[in-house]
């Protein structure tokens, strides 16, 4: 880390920035049960994808659904943390910020489930 004397702001190296990002991933896994649930569910979906021998395109959709779900959940968690940091009082805007972030998670989850159904239901039916 070096100091930018002009505006007295810290400047971090790329490796330090990378470590912060890894710490964010570590903290969110340790502290957020929703993220642990998404990770567990992701492993189950990946195992199913291997078993059903998905095509390249199907894999791409599944990976986008999995990564997007975890990323949206992490952003939701970050928004919750910032709201709680800014106020511990009831405030309609604080509530709206959390509700909107939760709504984003819900929308992504619904579309991820639809993607999963489109890909896996025909394969499960053929298997039966
Ligand atoms: N400061 C606040 N002012 C107004 N409403 C709030 C405030 N904090 C939380 N809420 C309301 O309570 C709901 C739940 O908030 P909370 O912080 O418990 O998040 P959560 O959805 O339970 O998240 P998680 O379970 O992931 O921690 C919010 O979606 C919002 O409607």
ipTM: 0.91
**How does pLDDT run along the chain (128 residues), one tens digit per residue?**
555 555 667 889 999 999 999 999 999 999 999 999 999 999 999 999 999 999 999 999 999 999 999 999 999 999 999 999 999 999 999 999 999 999 999 999 999 999 999 999 999 999 88
Ramachandran area for residue 44 (φ above 0: left; ψ -120 to 50: alpha; else beta): alpha
Q: Which atom of ligand 1 is nearest to the CA of 98?
A: 29
Q: Using an 8 Å Cβ cutoff, are 15 and 1 in contact?
A: no
DSSP 3-state of 102: helix
Q: Using an 8 Å Cβ cutoff, are 66 and 37 in contact?
A: no
Domains of the chain: which residue ranges?
A: 1-31, 33-127
- State whether the beta carbon of 95 lies less than 6 angstroms from ligand 1: yes
- Say what the pTM is: 0.89
Helix ranges (H only) for the chain are: 14-31, 33-51, 56-86, 92-127
* CA 54–ligand 1 middle distance (angstroms): 39
Name, in order, each residue with C-beta under 8 angstroms of 116's C-beta and a sequence gap of 6 or more: 45, 62, 65
Active site residue 73: yes
| CATH architecture of the domain with range 33-127 | Orthogonal Bundle (1.10)
């Amino acid at each position: 880390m070096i100091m930018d004397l002009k505006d007295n702001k810290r400047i971090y190296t790329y490796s330090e920035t990378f470590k912060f990002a890894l710490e964010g991933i570590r903290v969110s896994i340790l502290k957020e049960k929703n993220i642990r649930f998404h990770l567990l569910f992701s492993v189950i979906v990946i195992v199913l994808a291997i078993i059903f021998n998905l095509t390249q395109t199907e894999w791409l959709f599944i990976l986008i659904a999995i990564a997007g779900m975890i990323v949206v959940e992490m952003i939701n968690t970050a928004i919750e943390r910032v709201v709680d940091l800014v106020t511990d009082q009831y405030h309609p805007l604080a509530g709206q910020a959390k509700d909107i972030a939760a709504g984003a998670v819900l929308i992504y989850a619904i579309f991820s489930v639809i993607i999963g159904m489109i890909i896996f239901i025909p394969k499960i039916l053929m298997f039966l």
